[in-house]
Amino acid sequence: MEQKTMAVVGTGVIGNGWIARFLANGHRVIAYDPAPQAEEKTRAMLTEIWPTLAQYGLHPQASINNLSFADQLSDAVASADLIQENVPEREDLKKDVIASIDSFAKPEAIIASSTSGYMPSVLQQACAHYPERVIVAHPFNPVYLIPLVEIAGGKQTSSKTLEKANQLYDQLNMKPLVMSGEIDGHIGDRLMEALWREALHIVNDGVATTEEVDKAIVYGPGLRWALMGPFLTLHLAGGNDGMKHMLEQFGPALKLPWTRLIAPELTDELKNKVIDGTSLQCGDISINDMEHRRDRFLMKLMQLLEEEGFWPSERVLAYERQS
């Protein structure tokens, strides 16, 4: 594998996750974030998770020494093959930053936004140079472990860019899902937001606590979702006639008025219920410890998914990597 230079713009939760994934796969990374102590925070995070990454599988060239920080955006992106933008989710800010990246980056570089919500057509609007190389590449936290990345092109994106991006994220041991169109919120977040809205209603109405809602997922549908999405899960819920029987039996329930697509008002009372509920669930365990537990669990789960060979020819682990 050819060592590439990746620029990471914005080094918060997601930017740092990308830095870890790029480094673990043996690439050079140049990061840029104007926040004070951004570099210290990133380096502290890398020291913390490097043992996890080592367990997951490091490329022979992988090293924290392949990371540098630039003081200017232009210096960070000028030599990069891929620029991953991770600034806060504000349309004006993202458009400005992406337009600046477009003016400093090599013409053949890919510019990818991690945005959870905006469509690539919106983000590439302000690019005066090469808007055809702008895409959305939406990851999932923790980016250094979760394989899915949703790739979407906008009205001006070239098919060559999408092909190159598909190959590039695949080589990062990810599962790129190239969307055939673009929608606000892409696919995964739309599904998660629907569940999140319903969960907030349930807590708001006093039907269940945050812990009870979480248990209803963890010990039930969540176990199946590690293996199958909503369609195959329901296909198996329909007996021998599968989805056909399922639709005949439960199809009419879709019209029942018990799902609410409108979000509840985030009142102070609801916010407090959710904030207090989740801290109670963690007890004395810090968020940092929870992250370690989550990472250990995710690695075991991915190992299991691969061992079971349920999805033939699919690899989800970074082990046995070729250099």
**Which residues sit at the interface with ligand NAD, rule CB under 6 A?**
9-15, 32-35, 38, 86-89, 97, 114-116, 138-139, 141
Question: Residue 140 carries which side chain, given as an amino acid letter?
Answer: F
**HEC letters along 93-155:** HHHHHHHHHHHHCCCCCEEEECCCCCCHHHHCCCCCCCHHHEEEEECCCCCCCCCEEEEEECC
Name the residue whose CB lies closest to ligand NAD.
12
- Helix 188-204 / helix 210-218 crossing angle, nearest 10 deg: 140
Range list of β-strands (E), 139-239: 148-153, 175-178
Closer Cβ to ligand NAD, 149 or 302, answer by number: 149
227 Rama class: left (phi>0) / alpha (psi -120 to 50) / beta: alpha
Closer Cβ to ligand NAD, 115 or 209, answer by number: 115
Instruction: Kindly state the smallest distance separating residue 32's Cβ from ligand NAD, in Å.
Output: 6
Closer Cβ to ligand NAD, 90 or 260, answer by number: 90
Closer Cβ to ligand NAD, 93 or 282, answer by number: 93
Closer Cβ to ligand NAD, 37 or 65, answer by number: 37
Instruction: Kindly state the smallest distance separating residue 6's Cβ from ligand NAD, in Å.
Output: 15
- Compute the radius of gyration of the chain from its Cα atoms: 21
Instruction: Kindly state the smallest distance separating residue 189's Cβ from ligand NAD, in Å.
Output: 8
Instruction: Kindly state the smallest distance separating residue 117's Cβ from ligand NAD, in Å.
Output: 6
Instruction: Kindly state the smallest distance separating residue 168's Cβ from ligand NAD, in Å.
Output: 18
Closer Cβ to ligand NAD, 13 or 266, answer by number: 13
Q: Pairing relation of β-strands 148-153 and 134-138?
A: antiparallel
Count of alpha carbons within 13 Å of 284, Cβ hemisphere only?
0
From the list 87, 89, 96, 159, the residue with the least C-alpha distance to 118 is 89
Instruction: Kindly state the smallest distance separating residue 141's Cβ from ligand NAD, in Å.
Output: 4
Instruction: Kindly state the smallest distance separating residue 120's Cβ from ligand NAD, in Å.
Output: 13
- Measured in Å, how far apart are the chain's first and last C-alpha atoms? 5
Instruction: Kindly state the smallest distance separating residue 41's Cβ from ligand NAD, in Å.
Output: 8
The dihedral sign for the CA sequence 295, 297, 300, 304: negative
Q: What are phi and psi of 204, to 5 degrees?
A: -60, -40
Closer Cβ to ligand NAD, 25 or 115, answer by number: 115
Strand partners, 239: none
Closer Cβ to ligand NAD, 39 or 132, answer by number: 39
